[in-house]
């Protein structure tokens, strides 16, 4: 068997050019860590700029920009943490002090980057304070050191962007970002791990398209399939998945409830909602998770819609409504009014909330108008308006009772704009459909399956593009 010689592609060339330019700029300015200059100038050199070029230069300009922003954020967070702990002064010379401080800054850096949803920034947020502490920079130089690292990184990021703009990757048009479902290719090996979605019906699911798009973009050795499993056969499927080496699977109707007692472990949300939609198989153990609630919170956050302190009108009391309502309550909503045609079902949902923030109400037009008139956010969790269903709101006049600043959200993503959202938009309301929820659910599921932190901001444009190319 012959050995395949790897080609030197455009990305490699661009990386080399960016690194050379970085070094050349600092060398020409005689900024090579000349401490005699003093201040920030004395701390400047090409190293971090070259590293930024190596890490940030990607195949496309957009990918490079996303990497660059994450790196700048990581350096800024790490620099701030490093400077902060240096106020401990001579105490840092003691190993018994320095060791726990190093651990603390790493925890703080990772936590903050995850808080602002920049997982790609975590590395630099830890590296920079460690370098500051271990190299022993003291006095006023500590501030100059941190500032110099940010400047160097900024120069490297800008050069990576410039080189990428001047030398574009001609293969970009053939990437997963540009391809639709019809010509997506999935490469398999004997080590490829299997994932899938089960349900009945399930062949309409967009999960394989979404997940395989993200898998390809992230370079993960996984494949995501689709499997019809009839009602009542979830236990048999679970044993089959264990036996055949599946890393996990997603579950849609009618299996979300049936799978719960079959799990070896439930995450907090799955236990709270009494339903699972993401099952990870690790060492033969089935771990059930639910991404519905967290996915919706992420979608709201992406649209700049805060939850804390809001009075929310929630339409529907089914499975999706349960996850959304209980998660909104946990996220700090002041009150959630559950409007449903069947009063018993709404009251049963409200009884599940340990915080006591849920209130049941009817679905008649007078009640909807009264609730809408006092709410700060309206969320439709019913199937009314969904493609392929005949159901629709009989009367939309309740929307006129909403205050102008109240956002209107619909969990439906097909069609992209339901009649409810269309009417709300015409009245001047900010609107959001269910596509963001779908994307964030998928990202969270893939994080559970792989154990990898995934930046939703990087995945969302890819998924939206490939869904736009499919028959959504």
CA distances from 7 to 63, 150, 220, 359 (A): 21, 34, 21, 63
**Are 313 and 328 in contact, with CB atoms under 8 Å apart?**
no
Please confirm, yes or no, whether 256 is among the known catalytic residues: yes
The one catalytic residue in 256, 322, 327, 357 is 256
Quick one: how many helices (H) and strands (E) in the chain? Answer: 17, 12
Q: What is the pLDDT along the chain (472 residues), one digit of tens a residue?
A: 445 566 677 778 888 898 999 899 999 999 888 878 888 888 888 888 888 888 888 766 766 777 778 888 888 888 888 878 877 877 877 888 888 888 898 899 888 888 876 777 888 888 888 877 776 555 557 678 778 878 888 898 888 888 888 886 554 444 434 444 444 555 666 788 999 999 988 887 888 999 999 998 888 889 999 999 999 999 999 999 999 999 999 998 889 889 999 999 999 999 988 899 999 999 989 999 999 999 999 999 988 999 999 999 999 998 889 999 999 999 999 999 999 999 999 999 999 999 999 999 999 999 999 999 999 999 999 989 887 677 788 899 999 999 999 999 999 888 888 999 999 999 999 999 998 998 999 999 999 999 888 888 888 888 888 887 454 5
Q: Which residues contact 29 (CB under 8 A, 6 or more apart)?
A: none
Q: Are 52 and 162 in contact (CB under 8 A)?
A: no
Contact 315, 381 (CB under 8 A): yes
């Amino acid at each position: 068997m012959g050995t395949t010689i790897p080609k030197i592609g455009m990305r490699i060339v661009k990386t080399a050019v960016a690194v050379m330019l970085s070094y050349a700029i600092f060398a020409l300015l005689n900024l090579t860590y000349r401490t005699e200059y003093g201040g920030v100038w004395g701390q400047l050199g090409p190293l971090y700029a070259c590293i930024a070029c190596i890490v940030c230069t990607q195949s496309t300009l957009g990918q490079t920009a996303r990497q660059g922003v994450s790196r700048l954020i990581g350096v800024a967070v790490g620099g701030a943490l490093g400077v902060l702990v240096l106020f401990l002064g001579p105490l840092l010379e003691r190993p018994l002090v320095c060791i726990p401080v190093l651990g603390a800054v790493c925890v703080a850096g990772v936590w903050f980057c995850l808080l602002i949803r920049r997982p790609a920034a975590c590395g630099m947020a830890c590296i920079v304070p460690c370098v500051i502490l271990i190299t022993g920079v003291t006095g006023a130089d500590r501030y100059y050191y941190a500032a110099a690292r940010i400047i160097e990184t900024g120069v490297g990021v800008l050069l990576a962007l410039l080189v990428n703009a001047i030398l574009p990757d001609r293969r970009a048009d053939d990437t997963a970002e540009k391809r639709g479902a019809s010509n997506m290719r999935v490469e398999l090996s004997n080590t490829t791990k299997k994932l899938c979605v089960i349900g009945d019906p399930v062949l309409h699911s967009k999960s394989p398209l979404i997940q395989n798009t993200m898998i390809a973009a992230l370079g993960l050795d996984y494949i995501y399939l689709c499997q019809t499993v009839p009602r009542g056969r979830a236990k048999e499927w679970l044993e089959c998945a264990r036996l055949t080496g599946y890393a996990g699977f997603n579950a849609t109707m009618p299996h979300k409830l049936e799978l719960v007692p079959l799990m070896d472990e439930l995450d907090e949300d799955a236990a709270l909602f009494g339903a699972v939609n993401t099952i990870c198989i690790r060492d033969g153990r089935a771990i059930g998770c639910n991404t519905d609630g967290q996915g919706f919170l992420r979608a709201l956050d992406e649209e700049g819609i805060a939850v804390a302190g809001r009075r929310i009108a929630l339409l529907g009391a089914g499975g999706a409504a349960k996850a959304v309502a209980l998660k909104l309550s946990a996220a700090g909503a002041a009150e959630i009014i559950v409007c449903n045609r069947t009063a018993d079902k709404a009251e049963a949902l409200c009884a599940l909330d340990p915080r006591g923030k849920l209130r049941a109400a009817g679905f008649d037009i007078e009640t909807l108008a009264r609730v809408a008139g006092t709410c700060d956010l309206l969320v439709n969790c019913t199937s009314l308006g969904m493609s392929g269903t005949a159901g629709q709101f009989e009367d939309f006049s309740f929307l006129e009772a909403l205050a102008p600043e109240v956002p209107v959200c619909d969990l439906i993503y097909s069609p992209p704009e339901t009649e409810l959202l269309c009417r709300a938009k015409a009245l001047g309301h900010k609107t959001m459909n269910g596509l963001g929820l779908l994307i964030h659910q998928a990202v969270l599921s893939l994080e559970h399956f792989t154990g990898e932190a995934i930046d939703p901001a990087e995945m969302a444009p890819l998924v939206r593009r490939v869904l736009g190319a499919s028959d959504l």
